[in-house]
Amino acid sequence: MEKSGRIKAGILAEAITIAIILCVAAGRNYMYSRTVPTIENESENGKDYIKWVDFNVTYEALCKAYDWDVDTYGKKVHINWIELLALEASKTGGEFGESAVADMDELAGELADGTTTVKKEADGLKYYSYYHDAYTAVLGGFVGKYRIEEPKEDGSVKYVEKYGLKAFSPIAKGFEYRDYDDFGVSRSYGFKREHLGHDMMGQIGTPVVAVESGYVEALGWNQYGGWRIGIRSFDHKRYYYYAHLRQDYPYVKTLKEGSKVTAGDVIGYMGHTGYSTTENVNNIDEVHLHFGMELIFDESQKDGNNEIWISCYDLTRFLLKNQSEVHKIEGTKEWERCYDMKEEDGKNITKND
């Protein structure tokens, strides 16, 4: 009996050990699947597409790459900030600590003086194409040529041609907000889930601004987001989600599904609607804008099981470089931008289409 008991104990111990090993391996595989570039061949048109993106580019890295892009524009070697970020991400697995930013800065100097080229650097990097495509999906509409109105001394305005950041902060200039890195935090209303956006806390009625030009794809009530607006970029790669808008007066009145908006336009107003199947209810405790960005490499991802939402905390910090100045329309509850903008081709998409 004693020998039999020892055998059983030994078998049990071995089984427990195997179970632990399998759990650890499963955990490693799960983490691996979320951090290593994943491409699947399941699109409706038969082409490969990216299945997952962890966007971990820091504010410091975004600023450094952007400065190189703008500073070298029009020079013999123009450094594209997305290419620069993709090169560094290919070396670090997408992580941007202090040493990575310093390394990227050094590399940019070598690119600028002709010591090396993007092609030469990318040739030996297995995941360069992945990071280039992923970061283009996130940042593709942010930097370029545009024309924007600027005030003259006599009080009139004139259009000035510029190159640089043409995407805007989702919060209008002059309106304070506070935030923290809250992507992935647990939510429990309706069902337990991760917070797939970024909350920006402020005052009721704070004007909410279109980050990028695009089409209004969704407008109306959602029990989770309350009054919300969904805007799709013109290249179809980014879907911007603005939620918990103001009770009774959530949107700019002229907006409807299918409307075109220009980056920097006022589109709605901060509130705390949502968490209710009944429309126009304030069931959110704190006034804030829920701002989210979904990446779409294939239309099957848009509203399916393979949605890709990214952390926007560092992005919104970066976008504070460009806030839309607004003024209140007298006698109304509306606000509008002070200075109009035209896209790269000089066409004002909201007024001339």
Inter-residue contact 287 to 204 (CB < 8 Å): yes
Structural domain count, the chain: 3
Distance, CA of 158 to CA of 139 (rounded, Å): 28
Is there a single domain that holds both residue 98 and residue 240? no
Is there a single domain that holds both residue 331 and residue 247? yes
CA dihedral 326→329→335→341, nearest 10 degrees, is: -50
Predicted pLDDT of residue 208: 98
Distance, CA of 242 to CA of 210 (rounded, Å): 9
Q: Which domain holds residue 223?
A: 165-342
Is there a single domain that holds both residue 292 and residue 171? yes
Is there a single domain that holds both residue 117 and residue 209? no
Predicted pLDDT of residue 304: 76
Predicted pLDDT of residue 192: 62
Domain boundary among 122, 139, 156: 139
Is there a single domain that holds both residue 279 and residue 320? yes
Predicted pLDDT of residue 229: 98
Is there a single domain that holds both residue 85 and residue 222? no
Distance, CA of 344 to CA of 115 (rounded, Å): 31
* Average pLDDT by stretches of 10, the chain with 353 residues: 46 45 36 41 64 96 98 97 98 96 98 97 96 98 96 90 97 96 71 80 98 97 96 97 97 96 98 96 96 95 87 97 97 96 61 42
Predicted pLDDT of residue 11: 44
Task: With respect to residue 353, please indicate whether it lies within any of the assigned structural domains.
Answer: no
Task: With respect to residue 184, please indicate whether it lies within any of the assigned structural domains.
Answer: yes
Predicted pLDDT of residue 193: 65
Predicted pLDDT of residue 119: 97
Is there a single domain that holds both residue 335 and residue 262? yes
